Structure 1
Amino acid sequence: MSHDGVGPRAVMRSVAFLTAGALAVPLLSGCGSADEAGKPLARQDIAPAGRAQVAEGGTLRWAVDAVPDTFNTFQSDADATTTRVAQAVLPSMYRLDATGRPQRDSDYLESAKVVDTEPKQVVLYKLNQQAVWSDGREIGAADFAAQWRALAGKDSAYWTARNAGYERIEKIERGANDLEVRVTFKRTYADWRSLFSPLYPKDVMGTPDAFNDAARRKLKVTAGPFVVKKVDRKKDQVRLTRNTRWWGRPAKLSEIVLTAVPRDERASALAEGKIDLAEIDPATVQRIDGAANGTAGPLAGPGSGRTAAKALRSWALAHGSDEDTAEDEVEARTELSKAIAKWEQQQEALRDFEVRRSLEPAYTQLALNGADGLLADERVRRAVARALDRRELAEVVLKPLGLPAEPVGSHLALAGQDAYADNSGALGGQDTTEAQALLADAGWVPGGPVKKQEKGEKAAGSEGKKAGSKESDSDDDSADGDGTYIVGADDKARAGTDHEEKRDVTKGESAGRDDDGPRQLAQDGKQFKQVHQGGAPGAYAPKGTAAPAGAPAKALAKDGKALSLRFVLPSGPGSEPLAAVAARITRMLAKVGIGTDITKVSDESYFKDHIASGQYDLALYSWPASAFPATDARPIYAKPVPAADGSLSVEQNYTRIGTDQVDQLFERAVSTLDDGEKRSLIRKADSRIWAAAGSIPLYQRPQLTAVRKNVVNAGAFGFQTPVYEDMGFLKKGAKKGAKASASPSEK
């Protein structure tokens, strides 16, 4: 799962040990009925239209974050665009439906079922007899076997990023005929439907050299409605064209051109007619909505901050006696006029677009680093969690966008998915009194003495601080929407390649926090691609005046140390919404006496140098949901274990908090073929993860897509895997809203 576009199974794998008796868990049964999953909070928004309503031909120009470094989704530097291309050009035995559940894709698979369980699990795949690779060769057992051998983890010559599930396979054989593939497992594997999606040809998977290099720059052999026609890295484009050997419903579009466009340049690219579809940020949403309803006039663009007084002063300078000043002012006024004219032209062009909104299959969380320091104490973590009003935090991001502002109740699934149930009761909701009681029990005293910082001693949050860093004395709490994912191609498109850190010391902090210094924790060898207290003179209330409701509590201290947590945030474009959420969290924590030291770092540095390496106390980042949590979520919550050199390996568990019970529940869930039992075990595991208070799910991320109005069957897809062959342009005179395309299982 993700800083706020990597797929759930494409994130790199990367500490405190909690004992069983240390957790007081009110709700651990996790044994609800299947209907607890409910429905997705928001439906997909793709302007559905029947194929008869879609015109033949045309080129869809689609903005992406970057041209991928590899087209092999199983490599460590695969990104969101890698996944996008794979979905359009490669087979997948199962794809996700609108509720985030796997469905058989009948274009490739006539049937798949478990045919034996004793002595070992055997799955029999029956392939569509028309399924062929783009070179004319039939898809068959040889392709399945080559992918298994590459991903089984036995041959280190294959540079793989993940092999979950494949290591449980014992052998793959041809069945009764060429269309049957028989897969025998050496250990029972509940999530067998996650395998072979996507499926690569044996040409790619057959040898280490082919796996490591053949699919990095191009894909010669594919088997989807589209093929990779050309990769132009100078123009930052990937061109997909119709597959002439495609046996399914023909693609409506002649081609799809994926073009790398930085997020902050997408509004201009849309207005200039360079792209037809792009994921956008809340600021661009406002521009497009304003263009549509006429509310974004000149005052919303360049020169929007010019008051009447400023305009009068500008006129006076331009017509004054100082010739040099007048010349400069005239030039500035001319440039401003040009900018306003260009902005107005763009607004007119943006009327051809609309924003399609849904919720992304991912959630943003507050992560609490329990490796060492103040948050190693479970009571302090629980106090942080009980201080938060998660509904209010969801509303900060989602309410202005017109999306359901419901807090996420599970770490392992989202509403609508089979495993979803709200297990947050295992930790409890917002309760200031309970939070303060937990802190008192941990020995934190309101207004306690703080040891004076010795000369040469590092200030709180100063680890790794670079020369020339800037101070900020306020938090931006005005942004709407959400930011961006932590890892992936987004980072390459953003500004902020320096590692500058910015610190905001918020209310409730006492100076002189004595930290233990940088935390050095081992990973698993993978490489990773986030106010000063006081006021004006005379602003204080007279002594004895009652504090207003919700005022910050006195700062807490213990053993001469202030209770202040280092809150690390990204500072690049699109990070404003995360800063808004962080500002609310800061105020909520201040109400129970917890101080925060906000450190803003470059996007490039955020995940690699801070989250993955453990250089933070609090942080905001996101994980995508998975249809297979027993497999995909296990490394995120696995108990850290000692590495060979005596350090700790944390896999993807960047909070460094895990328990034996959670590990055991995951192992049992992935080893049962009883769907009801698996669901119950996943929910039990989630309850224990809540109780450990290592990460607090906040809200499902918004999915905002700008789309040309006549583009149909595309936009904010929500959970569902896009159906590329049905995308296209609406026929003249046709209307949107006809029955949407069939799901993969209905084809």
Structure 2
Amino acid sequence: MSYDGVGSRAVLRSIAFLAAGVLTVPWLAGCGSDDEGSKPLAPQDIAAAGRAQMADGGTLRWAVDALPQTLNAYQAGADTGTTRVAQAVLPAMFRMDASGRPQRVADYLEDAKVVDTEPKQVVVYRLDQRAVWSNGRAIGADDFAAQWRALSGKDAAYWTARNAGYDRIEKIEQGKNAQEVRVTFARPYADWKSLFSPLYPKEVTGSASAFNDGARKELKVSAGPFSVQKVDAQSKDVVLVRNPRWWGHRAKLDQIVLHEVPRDKRADALADGTVDVAELDPADVQKLTLTAGPPGSSALLSLPDGGAAAQALRSWAVRHGSDQQAAAAERQAVQEGRDELSTYLRQQQSLRGFTLHKSLEPAYTQLALNGASGPLADERVRHAVAHAIDRKELAEVALKPLGLPAQPVGSHLALSGQDAYADNSDALGGRDTARAKALLSDAGWVQGTAAQQKKGDKAAGPEGRAATAGPSGDGTYVVGRDDEVQHDGDGKGLTRPGDRAAGDEGQQGEERQGQDGARDARSQQFGQDGRSYTQGGAPGAYAPKGTAAPAGTGTLVKDGKPLTLRFVLPSGPGSQTLEKVADRIRVMLDQVGIGTQITKVPDTSFFRDHIAAGQYDLALYSWPATAYPATDARPVYAKPVPAADGSLNVQQNYSRVGTDQVDQLFDQALSTLDEEKERELIRKADARIWAVAGSIPLYQRPQLVATRSTLANVGAFGFQTPVFEDMGYLKKGAQPGPAPSKSS
């Protein structure tokens, strides 16, 4: 399983099949000409071709991590396989374009819009008159209403993974005719476009038994270019066949077979023809890009697996036996080397029929900091970690060898190309080792052995701080000009922190200003409570002006204990990139006196026993981007609250760091129907999330997909939802060219 993969939106950010740091997501869901969010960092790479260039028929075998445990995308067991099936066989009112923005799907919807806001929000969907389920029944209001009741959260008999948005609906009814569906909301809901994608037939959602069990292994009723023929546990296949009742463009392929192939077996499966399409981990890409000499060449015996191995065995045999034994050992080594290399060359020859497509996934890898306990419970230490690392360098470690843009991610809530994206990392700041050391000193971490500190290190001054302050440039921390401004969070530029609002429309907890107006905004920074403080006044956010940065790079100590953080990593196939990034982070932290203890754990326990259980200090894993951050990201950054049983309810906030203001900004964004205002609130929320330093976005994940070279309209999709009816094989002599034409 991929360590940083992306799955289905139905279980977005609530079900983690994070085998190496990945959460599932589904259909994923900028400003002026200078807006960094105006376009994705990397375009999609799908060998686009018009339908006229493609042959009719054929089977596409597509590798998936595992056979889906359920075909119901709204259940907890849903995964990437579930998503692939739902995208191919079920209606979606909106799907993502290449820039990660939701677009109406014309095959299902003629129109969908908000028609009333007072006294309540009303959305009217006008369905395509040809839209029918595979049993011949027209898609209509009954299907919308059944799905709403199943996902509203009011009936505990339905085993649902999420009900966000559906819990705000008051009623659903037929409009002026059978093709019109009228949805009335009890409370305003900004992300209404996220609903009913996918839409299941009432045969699945109309009863709890059908919802819970009926759609796990089969979908008897569907409404897409393909339908589910069977789920075969023995062959580990999900077989999708062309839907004869599909009213849109006829699918080019006869069949799509989703076949279970573990990540570390993908290259072999491509070479032996088991699959035609497979997403690869970076370590496997070499198997597709390396070339070898022609079979039978003399180079076979000069390679390490042949000649060097034979020479080593001969030397051993000469020392321990006869020349005859040595000769026999050498012949054996040569033959073994020849056989291994011949197999390798045959595989390479087979792989020459494939093309590697490269883009960036709609997901990013982050460094998570557990703020619930230990040293990282102190915000100053979290800020020190953030200032110790070079995000640009880490992005280059992961992406530069692949030829992909090595640009750090600037937002927790969106990626470049999406409407809500703005680089708010200035709210925390970049690498600054002097500041990191000063923050650690202010938090009481000092140089010296544990024994020395127990006795009291006189040189460090009271509480491990310098007794005197010095000017900038001599190791003393002094706020510089970089501290005088903060990103405003709305993509419109920088403002002084004292001028920034903590919320909107009378929100409590506004940044305090002196009544006489004399407070210098340049001396203010955000504390964990979201308020602005003068230097030295924030509760654990910034070192006071004049705090000395400790010299040297040895691990710091406090109360007789060294500053060592538990750094947890997955150990399975595909984790090589994470290991390289973690090793670089370890070196960076060591330079400011923070020690790390890297622990590699099995895939199966990485998320369950460590991330979700809070048994870590630092960890690397990935979050998906979404077109609907107000809905999908709120539980990820919500302030943890005590549960009725006395435990801490963290929802999906596995860093366990949050503030009331972030929650309020999400709630406001979710309730406004002004799209520009929603984006502004999301950007402000992101700036506050940066400021508390519970997680540090690093880089957008690479997306590497190998496809048979004769295939078109399939590959590295980037943000875009795949268009399954346009996938297929090129006609003989045809070459990929213009994007698929809806009129052809």
Q: Which has the higher contact order (CA 8 A, sep 6+)?
A: 1
Q: State the partner residue of 2:440.
A: 439
Q: State the partner residue of 2:430.
A: 429
Q: State the partner residue of 2:101.
A: 101
SS of equivalent residue, structure 1 residue 335: helix
Residue pair 1:318, 1:330 contacting (<8 A) in 2 also: no
TM-score (norm 1): 0.81
In the TM superposition, residue 90 of structure 1 has moved relative to its aligned partner by 0.1
In the TM superposition, residue 601 of structure 1 has moved relative to its aligned partner by 0.5
Q: State the partner residue of 1:117.
A: 117
Distance in 1 between the 2:451 and 2:256 partners?
62
Distance in 2 between the 1:187 and 1:418 partners?
24
**Pair 1:340-2:355 in alignment:** no
SS of equivalent residue, structure 1 residue 386: helix
Distance in 1 between the 2:326 and 2:213 partners?
60
Structure 2: gaps of 5 or more residues: 16-29, 455-550
In the TM superposition, residue 615 of structure 1 has moved relative to its aligned partner by 0.2
Residue pair 2:102, 2:627 contacting (<8 A) in 1 also: yes
- Cα distance change on mapping 1:282 and 1:386 into 2, 3 Å: same
Letter in 2 for 1:183: V
1:580-625 C-alpha deviation (Å, 9 max, x unpaired) = 0000000000110100001111011100000000000000000010
SS of equivalent residue, structure 2 residue 352: helix
Q: State the partner residue of 1:235.
A: 235
Q: State the partner residue of 2:367.
A: 366
Give 1:562-711 correspondences, 5 Å limit: 562-711=562-711
Distance in 2 between the 1:223 and 1:649 partners?
39
Distance in 1 between the 2:300 and 2:421 partners?
43
1:19-77 C-alpha deviation (Å, 9 max, x unpaired) = xxxxxxxxxxx999994422100000000000100111111111111110000000001
Give 1:57-456 correspondences, 5 Å limit: 57-291=57-291, 305-306=304-305, 310-315=309-314, 321=322, 331=332, 333-450=334-451
Q: State the partner residue of 1:504.
A: none
Residue pair 2:168, 2:185 contacting (<8 A) in 1 also: yes
- Cα distance change on mapping 1:350 and 1:37 into 2, 3 Å: same
SS of equivalent residue, structure 1 residue 287: helix
Distance in 1 between the 2:297 and 2:679 partners?
54
Give 1:507-518 correspondences, 5 Å limit: none
In the TM superposition, residue 266 of structure 1 has moved relative to its aligned partner by 1.2
Worse-superposed segment, 552-561 or 49-58: 552-561
SS of equivalent residue, structure 1 residue 125: strand
- Cα distance change on mapping 1:309 and 1:34 into 2, 3 Å: closer
Letter in 2 for 1:273: G
SS of equivalent residue, structure 1 residue 735: coil
Distance in 2 between the 1:240 and 1:724 partners?
11
1:159-192 C-alpha deviation (Å, 9 max, x unpaired) = 0011110000000001111101000000000000
- Cα distance change on mapping 1:309 and 1:67 into 2, 3 Å: closer
SS of equivalent residue, structure 1 residue 658: coil
Letter in 2 for 1:711: L
Q: State the partner residue of 1:497.
A: none
1:279-310 C-alpha deviation (Å, 9 max, x unpaired) = 0122321121124x979999999996559654
Distance in 1 between the 2:301 and 2:69 partners?
37
In the TM superposition, residue 335 of structure 1 has moved relative to its aligned partner by 3.3
Residue pair 2:89, 2:226 contacting (<8 A) in 1 also: yes
In the TM superposition, residue 78 of structure 1 has moved relative to its aligned partner by 0.3
- Cα distance change on mapping 1:251 and 1:212 into 2, 3 Å: same
Residue pair 2:714, 2:722 contacting (<8 A) in 1 also: yes
Worse-superposed segment, 657-666 or 324-333: 324-333
State which structure, 1 or 2, has the greater radius of gyration over its C-alpha atoms. 2
Distance in 2 between the 1:7 and 1:295 partners?
44
Letter in 2 for 1:79: D
SS of equivalent residue, structure 2 residue 707: strand
Residue pair 1:450, 1:561 contacting (<8 A) in 2 also: no
In the TM superposition, residue 311 of structure 1 has moved relative to its aligned partner by 3.1
Letter in 2 for 1:429: G
Letter in 2 for 1:424: S
Distance in 1 between the 2:194 and 2:414 partners?
16
1:504-552 C-alpha deviation (Å, 9 max, x unpaired) = xxxxxxxxxxxxxxxxxxxxxxxxxxxxxxxxxxxxxxxxxxxxxxx97
Distance in 2 between the 1:225 and 1:299 partners?
52
In the TM superposition, residue 132 of structure 1 has moved relative to its aligned partner by 0.2
- Cα distance change on mapping 1:111 and 1:417 into 2, 3 Å: same
Distance in 2 between the 1:298 and 1:416 partners?
49
Worse-superposed segment, 334-343 or 309-318: 309-318
Residue pair 1:170, 1:185 contacting (<8 A) in 2 also: yes
Residue pair 1:317, 1:329 contacting (<8 A) in 2 also: no
- Cα distance change on mapping 1:303 and 1:391 into 2, 3 Å: farther
Q: State the partner residue of 2:483.
A: none
In the TM superposition, residue 340 of structure 1 has moved relative to its aligned partner by 1.3
- Cα distance change on mapping 1:424 and 1:290 into 2, 3 Å: same
TM-score (norm 2): 0.81
In the TM superposition, residue 217 of structure 1 has moved relative to its aligned partner by 0.6
Distance in 2 between the 1:302 and 1:84 partners?
46
Residue pair 2:134, 2:221 contacting (<8 A) in 1 also: yes
In the TM superposition, residue 738 of structure 1 has moved relative to its aligned partner by 1.9
Distance in 2 between the 1:552 and 1:298 partners?
56
Letter in 1 for 2:283: A
Distance in 2 between the 1:620 and 1:611 partners?
10
Residue pair 2:307, 2:334 contacting (<8 A) in 1 also: no
Distance in 2 between the 1:615 and 1:359 partners?
30
Structure 1: gaps of 5 or more residues: 15-29, 454-550
Distance in 1 between the 2:325 and 2:12 partners?
57
Worse-superposed segment, 58-67 or 443-452: 443-452
Residue pair 2:3, 2:575 contacting (<8 A) in 1 also: no
Q: State the partner residue of 1:470.
A: none
In the TM superposition, residue 396 of structure 1 has moved relative to its aligned partner by 0.3
In the TM superposition, residue 8 of structure 1 has moved relative to its aligned partner by 4.4
Residue pair 1:96, 1:103 contacting (<8 A) in 2 also: yes
Residue pair 1:382, 1:693 contacting (<8 A) in 2 also: yes
Worse-superposed segment, 656-665 or 4-13: 4-13
- Cα distance change on mapping 1:264 and 1:416 into 2, 3 Å: same
Distance in 2 between the 1:388 and 1:555 partners?
16
Q: State the partner residue of 2:23.
A: none
Distance in 1 between the 2:85 and 2:285 partners?
26
Letter in 1 for 2:310: A
Distance in 2 between the 1:667 and 1:596 partners?
37
1:309-356 C-alpha deviation (Å, 9 max, x unpaired) = 543232456786388887676555433322211111001111111100
Cα-Cα RMSD: 2.6
- Cα distance change on mapping 1:230 and 1:586 into 2, 3 Å: same
Distance in 1 between the 2:265 and 2:141 partners?
46
In the TM superposition, residue 740 of structure 1 has moved relative to its aligned partner by 3.3
Letter in 1 for 2:64: V
Q: State the partner residue of 1:458.
A: none
Residue pair 2:306, 2:338 contacting (<8 A) in 1 also: no
Letter in 2 for 1:334: Q
Distance in 1 between the 2:737 and 2:69 partners?
38
- Cα distance change on mapping 1:450 and 1:621 into 2, 3 Å: farther
SS of equivalent residue, structure 1 residue 446: coil
Distance in 2 between the 1:296 and 1:376 partners?
60
Q: Report the identity percentage.
A: 66
Residue pair 1:298, 1:340 contacting (<8 A) in 2 also: no
1:643-669 C-alpha deviation (Å, 9 max, x unpaired) = 011111100000000000000000000
1:469-498 C-alpha deviation (Å, 9 max, x unpaired) = xxxxxxxxxxxxxxxxxxxxxxxxxxxxxx
SS of equivalent residue, structure 2 residue 181: strand
